[in-house]
A and B are shown apart, each in its own frame.
Chain A
């Protein structure tokens, strides 16, 4: 029997497979396909304090092995979530992580403050890296000072662990990761989508109404994996790898590189049972390679000295 559990320090997961926010609805949408109890945990769609309209369509464009989205975090707001959705999710024996959004730092703190008064949440994932809500992808995660400030503020008002989801659209990911750690973040999700553009050559217009969107899917996996590599050796807090995971082998690339857990995202749209398949793949890999604990794969990457 393979032990798939992983310990992030602030939370223990029955396996390393989580769902990426924005690709798994509020969880209940997937109840027909996935026994939520089997997941390491699930991260629900980003919540602002108030309900949010989102961007006009077109919101999606498919590119080579990838998907550019500019949904703009349409959502029901924290009150409806707490009243209507949360009671349906509490009974599951898995970690529920709520993705928290804000237009201003104070809004993140307000969402966390509101949710802190409700039972059944394991941790928060701070979404300071959505590229679709402000012009040209601006967000706190592009700058170490704004990153540290918002993390610090949220940590002060939160009674639960905080994972900070970073943006890949930066020159030096290590600098931002260190600033989130400095702000008190308990963990990092690496990373959000890549700021991207697609053009309709007939009409000569951007294919998305928002002009830019965030690229996800298998196309980005080598890029986020590289960032995980760069960050894990420099921070003390656990890193969760997210970007382009379709199979157990994709997840293993992140784990071997040093991620303590992974989030499955775009794959959920293609195959709503992707998470279960990834978990099964991981178990099969461990069995066939005589690995007793999946944790033994974490950070096992062998890099020969370049000198």
Chain B
């Protein structure tokens, strides 16, 4: 409430606006310039100069996969990477929105709104320190952007990337190419450690002793990481997911139980998150 809002630039295709220090743009005809496919996983590079310029790791965009009335709502996608005037999204085809998007190609354009929400903690104090990034399945999406920015800061990121089977880990080469340290797990043992990524993380924790933990993935995975982080007194951040009606705080549809020093309340993930500190989040088994 009581935020300062400014319209910075306005023309027929792009809206530029500022909420306090947060800048938001609506790029109505953002061009898809590259598409990569691995079975049901997709990586799209989209030219959206204004959004790309302002994005921080952990923030997201709302993308409208069609101009028709079904599906009606935009879909949230975390920002996977930023390259010059482009941003990338990485997603798993799962529902009607992602299925429609997966059928688009280079040269098609999409309507995107962003960057939205608040991103991960990034600070000079992480310079020279080891940090752990834990991603499960499509939850790996925002961690690539984060890992790159952490490297730029001089931090030493170690990636934990888990999935059900080998085909759930399409980004492992991409991380390896950037010389990120990476530990891999699959439920079926088809590659890497056989078991859950949280078990592998627990096993390697003593060697790494991260100063900071970031996680994104299935709720059960994040909750386990939160317990470990709490026990070891390591600060940790989690990127939460929710169905979203608008992405910019108007519909109140994407709430999560969040605690502060004084109280507990339903907080909008799109506005106050999607990244929250471990100590703020009330995990589902704690809810009454």
Residues of A within 8 A of B (CB): 22-26, 28-33, 45, 53-54, 56-62, 64-67, 69, 71, 74, 76, 80, 84-85, 88, 217-218, 246, 266, 268-273
Contacts and interface: CB of A to CB of B under 8 A. Distances in A.
A33 B26 contact: yes
B170 interface: no
A251 B19 CA distance: 31
B7 A67 contact: no
A60 B253 CA distance: 6
Contacts of B18: 32
Interface residues of B, number: 37
7 contacts: A32-B24, A60-B244, A80-B1, A246-B69, A269-B246, A272-B26, A272-B250
Q: Which of B72, B245, B257 has the most CB of A within 10 A?
A: B72
B265 interface: yes
Contacts of A56: 257, 266, 287
Contacts, number: 106
Contact of A29 (B7, B15, B248, B265): B248
Contacts of B265: 53
B73 interface: yes
A84 B3 CA distance: 10
Contact of A66 (B24, B72, B253): B72
A88 B3 CA distance: 10
Contact of A54 (B74, B242, B255): B255
Given A24-B250, A272-B26, 14 more contacts: A25-B250, A31-B5, A45-B252, A53-B266, A57-B242, A57-B266, A58-B243, A59-B255, A71-B253, A76-B1, A269-B246, A269-B251, A270-B74, A271-B64
B97 to A, nearest CB: 9
B249 interface: yes
B11 to A, nearest CB: 13
Given A29-B248, A33-B26, A268-B246, A54 B266 contact: yes
Interface of B: 1-3, 5, 7, 15, 17-19, 24, 26, 64, 69-74, 113, 242-246, 248-257, 265-266, 287
A29 B24 contact: no
Contacts of A28: 1, 3, 5
Of B7, B248, B249, chain A has the most CB atoms within 10 Å of the CB of B248
Contacts of A66: 72
Contact of B19 (A25, A32, A80, A85): A32
B266 A74 contact: yes
A88 B134 CA distance: 43
B70 A65 contact: yes
Contacts of B26: 33, 272-273
Nearest to B8: A32
A77 to B, nearest CB: 12
A73 B145 CA distance: 36
B246 A272 contact: yes
Contacts of B3: 28
A80 B1 CA distance: 10
Contacts of B72: 62, 65-67, 217-218, 266, 270
A58 B253 CA distance: 8
A271 B28 CA distance: 10
Contact of A71 (B1, B69, B251): B251
B69 A65 contact: yes
Residue of B242, B253, B287 contacting most chain A CB atoms (<10 Å): B253
A218 B68 CA distance: 11
Contacts of A24: 250
